[in-house]
Amino acid sequence: MKQSVIQLRAAPPFSIGAALLVWGWQCQFLPYAILMAVLLEISYFLSWRWSITDKEFNTLSDFSGLMFFVVVTYIFIDEGARGIFVILSVLPFILYPLLATQKYSTEGTMKLSALLVSLRKLDPTHSQEASIRTDVSLPYFIACLLSASSGNNRTIEFFIAVSLLLALVLWFVRPKRYSASIWLISIAMSLSLAYGMQLGMRHLQARIESSFLGIFDQFMWRYRDPNRATTAIGSLGRLKLSDRIVLRVKSEKKLKTPILLREASYSNFGHGVWSSQQSDFSVIDQNTDTSWTLVGDVESANNLNISTYMVNEKGVVPLPLGTSTIKDVTAIEIQKNPLGTVLMDIREGWVQYTVEYENDIYDDIPPNDNDLFILDYYKKYFQRLADELQLASMSTEQAIDTVYRFFQDNFTYSLAQKQRYPKGKYLSNFLFKNRQGHCEYFATATALLLRSVGIPTRYAVGYSVDEYSALEGQYIVRSRHAHSWTLVYVDEQWVVMDTTPSIWAPYEQENASAIEPLMDLWSWITYTWSRWQSDDATEEEENTFMILWLLFPLIGILAWRIYFRERIQKRGKQILELQQLNCPGKDSRFYELVNILEKSCRPRQAGETLPLWIERIENRVQGDHLQPALDMHYQYRFDPAGISSSKQKEFHELVEKLLASKEEWLAAVD
């Protein structure tokens, strides 16, 4: 039944060396690649080989797997999801020991079970998979090409190199029934097609990106465009934002939550999109190396320490309303637009800054015509509603209060939009029919309703800080905490008006994922690591990280201890069972005598041997048979040579006699 099947043939001579050189050239590992290629290809000129057993191949494969796991973990912690290309670039290093060993082994191939642990225990006589042998050189060749692609050197040389290498390999496996010219024509056609295809792929991606950038911006990751915010008004189905932590907020004082952190404000609305026409940014003057003042001559009583993840080196940062100063951050440049949106030029990844703010102070420019503008299309609906609420006859404060109560009393919070309406009808449906929606509906409707009676408004987007993490000792803000609200201009100041029912935060919490705590822990670990690596890490953060990393070996030791104890217990149990099995003389009837004596005379003390105990009680029992019986019992029980059948008979008779006459010799007992 045992058959040895070789699944893959070996790569042609020098093809792997060439692939390694291409990889080294593309990924800046050329010196290593040359060394690795020479070591491999020199094997064709050497006659000696090592005899490597299947078990050794298994060990080596496990080692490569472990190395891969360690590298993946390290790179993911260090680089996040972007690390996938770093992992790809080091793949030839990780797999090299396996290939080199195979190359220098006498067999020249390895069992498939070396690569797949699940096959190792299978019986080769009954399972064909267990006896399959394979050659890893061709997969390694492909891995080298893929790794080389991660170098991302956008030149034509990569295409040429990969084409030549693949053609080289295919030349060696080509069917012999065809002439070389047919093969060459086929290859030439394939590579011409490939060249056109890769050009087409570049163009296709550019087209797709330009069409769907808005969608990606909103749902894939928080990247705020200061000029434009596409709302989900009119989106069918359930709006679901992720539980991912996007901000961390620390305050020395206990916060009166929820606190709103604004990212941007907009003034023009049309067909689900808020935009801003006053988005010219001006550079903020730097006070010191790490401090910028947004609003001068203000004494700010409140401090917040905010950590945010920058997708690009430059991006919008969330700030509490009334921020006067940004400090403790080594930014290259900070800019601000007239609507209060702040752009920070710093670096990618987690950045931390402290803000001083005073809620009463707003530095946004006063309203203009844009802040009163409503598209004609919406005007009739909002005018109608304003008439119903008689807002025109009220003072500004009364109108604001009426609108606030109108939304609070008559509307409910919902993330689902189940019915499709004609374009632009969603807001009228929200106002007059189903009266339910999410924050974007409330903020947009409030802004436009107040505008319809001549009160200037703006639409603000950002986050609501509400959730405190005991694990991190600070507030955390998730993607689902993204929020929008209205800014209303009253008494020459912009004030916040949030008409979204306050139920929204607990409502969103209900939809949290079951694995949220685990994801939070992972997020905290990666955050701590990233902060530890950062130049502006505080001493406290560095200590936290060290404690965190000390935990891993401790957990490992604990796990090992538990496992080892389990093994000791199992082994101990086995020994006990073994002892019970191999205990000649355990059935000795002398033990019956011992039981009787223990009940009648003084019982044995803990650790007291039978001879000592017998000696202690012998003077209290009649007769002198106990000692000889004990000697014979010991021989029967412990003598490795055993006891002769005649002596065994004698011993049994003696014990029987003692048991039969126990009343007599026990009579002497006190």
Q: How far is the CB of 513 from another protein (least distance, A)?
A: 20
Strand partners, 134: 110
Q: How far is the CB of 657 from another protein (least distance, A)?
A: 36
Tokens at 151, concatenated? 């170098």
Give CA–CA dist 446/500, Å, rounded. 10
Among 42, 66, 70, 197, binds another protein (CB under 8 A): 197
Binding of residue 513 to another protein (CB under 8 A): no
Please, which residue, 153 or 398, has the CB nearer to another protein?
153
Question: What is the rounded distance in angstroms from the CA atom of residue 341 to the CA atom of residue 323?
Answer: 11
As measured in angstroms, the least distance from the Cβ of 169 to another protein is 8
Please pick, from the candidates 126, 254, 418, 599, the single residue that binds another protein as defined by CB under 8 A.
126
Please list the residues that pair with 273 across neighbouring strands.
Answer: 230, 270
Tokens representing 607 are 């650790």
**Is position 211 an interface residue for another protein (rule: CB under 8 A)?**
no
- DSSP state, residue 605: P
Assess 194 for contact with another protein (CB under 8 A): yes
State the minimum distance, in angstroms, from the CB of residue 192 to another protein.
Answer: 8
201 binds another protein (CB under 8 A): yes
Cβ proximity to another protein: between 149 and 251 the closer is 149
> Where does this chain touch another protein (CB under 8 A) — which range of 2-10, 316-324, 546-554, 597-605?
2-10
Q: How far is the CB of 351 from another protein (least distance, A)?
A: 23
Give the residue, chosen from 35, 70, 117, 515, that forms a contact with another protein under the rule CB under 8 A: 117
Q: Dig out the tokens for 203 from the structure.
A: 């163009």
Binds another protein by CB under 8 A, chosen from 97, 108, 139, 214? 139
Confirm or reject binding of residue 190 to another protein (CB under 8 A).
Answer: yes
Contact of 491 with 541, CB cutoff 8 Å = no
Dihedral angle computed from the Cα positions of residues 103, 107, 110 and 111, in that order, rounded to the nearest 10 degrees? 180
One-letter amino acid at 273 equals V
State yes or no: residue 9 binds another protein (CB under 8 A). Answer: yes
Q: How many Å apart are CA 88 and CA 111, to the nearest integer?
A: 25
Which C-beta is closer to another protein: that of 197 or that of 546?
197
User: Nearest distance from residue 206's CB to another protein, in Å?
Assistant: 9
Query: Contact between 212 and another protein (CB under 8 A)?
Result: no
Window contacting another protein (CB under 8 A); options: 39-47, 136-144, 544-552, 602-610: 136-144
* Position among 7, 257, 330, 511 found at the interface with another protein (CB under 8 A): 7
Candidates 117-125, 238-246, 338-346, 454-462; binding stretch for another protein (CB under 8 A): 117-125
Question: Between 121 and 599, whose beta carbon lies closer to another protein?
Answer: 121
Assess 122 for contact with another protein (CB under 8 A). yes
Q: Are 621 and 664 in contact (CB under 8 A)?
A: no
Among 28, 53, 205, 277, which residue interacts with another protein (rule: CB under 8 A)? Answer: 205
Q: Phi-psi category of 521—alpha, beta or left, where left has phi over 0 and alpha has psi -120 to 50? A: alpha
Q: How many residues bind another protein (CB under 8 A)?
A: 59
With CB under 8 A as the contact rule, which of the stretches 99-107, 124-132, 320-328, 449-457 interacts with another protein? 124-132
Distance, in Å, from the CA atom of 371 to the CA atom of 551, rounded to the nearest integer, reads 55
How far, in whole angstroms, is CA 666 from its chain's centroid? 77
Does 28 help bind another protein (rule: CB under 8 A)? no
Decide if residue 183 touches another protein (CB under 8 A). yes
Quote the least distance from Cβ 176 to another protein, whole Å.
5
Which residue among 114, 138, 431, 465 contacts another protein (CB under 8 A)? 138
Sole window of 200-208, 398-406, 424-432, 652-660 interacting with another protein (rule: CB under 8 A): 200-208
CB of 526 to another protein, least distance (A): 20
Q: What angle do CA 329, 332, 337 make, to 5 degrees?
A: 90
Residues 30-89 that bind another protein (CB under 8 A): 84-85, 88
Of 125 and 622, CB closest to another protein: 125
Six-digit token string for 556: 């490992």
Q: Which of 43, 58, 105, 128 touches another protein by CB under 8 A?
A: 128
DSSP-derived letter for residue 363 is: -
**Is 472 in a helix, a strand, or coil?**
coil
CA distance 584 to 652: 15
* Contact predicate 511/414, CB 8 Å: no
Residue written as token pair 């940062």? 317
Site for another protein in 367-406 (CB under 8 A): none
Q: What are phi and psi of 121, to 5 degrees?
A: -85, -10
Q: Which of 49, 55, 202, 207 binds another protein (CB under 8 A)?
A: 202
Q: Single out the residue of 59, 73, 186, 569 in contact with another protein (rule: CB under 8 A).
A: 186
We find the least distance from the C-beta atom of residue 177 to another protein, in angstroms, to be 4
- Could you tell me if 23 and 44 are in contact, meaning their C-beta atoms sit under 8 angstroms apart? no
* Minimum CB–partner distance for residue 15 and another protein (Å): 13
The token duo for 89 is 């670039």
Nearer Cβ to another protein, position 151 or 320? 151
Q: How far is the CB of 1 from another protein (least distance, A)?
A: 6
Q: For residues 382 and 452, is the Cβ–Cβ distance under 8 A?
A: yes
| E strands present in 561-629 | none
Q: Compute CA 311 distance to the chain's CA centroid, rounded to the nearest angstrom.
A: 18
Q: What is the DSSP letter of 50?
A: B
The answer to whether 600 and 626 have CB atoms below 8 angstroms apart is no
Give the C-alpha separation, 23 to 26, whole Å: 5
Q: By the 8 A CB rule, do 475 and 249 touch?
A: yes
Q: Which is nearer to another protein, 202 or 657 (CB)?
A: 202
Rounded-to-integer distance, Cα 83 and Cα 139, Å:
22
Residues 512, 455 contacting (CB under 8 angstroms):
no
When asked if residue 610 is in the footprint of another protein (CB under 8 A), the reply is no
Q: How many CB atoms lie within 10 A of CB 554?
A: 10
Q: For residues 154-173, which are near another protein according to CB under 8 A?
A: 154, 158-159, 162-163, 166, 169-170, 173
Residue 210 in the binding site for another protein (CB under 8 A): no
Q: Which helix (H) or strand (E) holds 61?
A: helix 54-79
Q: Which of 47, 106, 176, 663 binds another protein (CB under 8 A)?
A: 176
Kindly state the tokens that stand for 487. 């800014």
Q: Is 245 helix (H, G, I), strand (E, B) or coil?
A: strand
Q: Is 118 in the site for another protein (CB under 8 A)?
A: yes
HEC secondary structure over 616-632: HHHCCCCCCCHHHHHHH
Q: Which amino acid is at 422?
A: P
Name the site residues for another protein (rule: CB under 8 A).
1, 3, 7-9, 26, 84-85, 88, 117-118, 121-123, 126-129, 138-139, 142, 145-146, 148-154, 158-159, 162-163, 166, 169-170, 173-178, 182-183, 185-187, 189-191, 193-195, 197-198, 201-202, 205
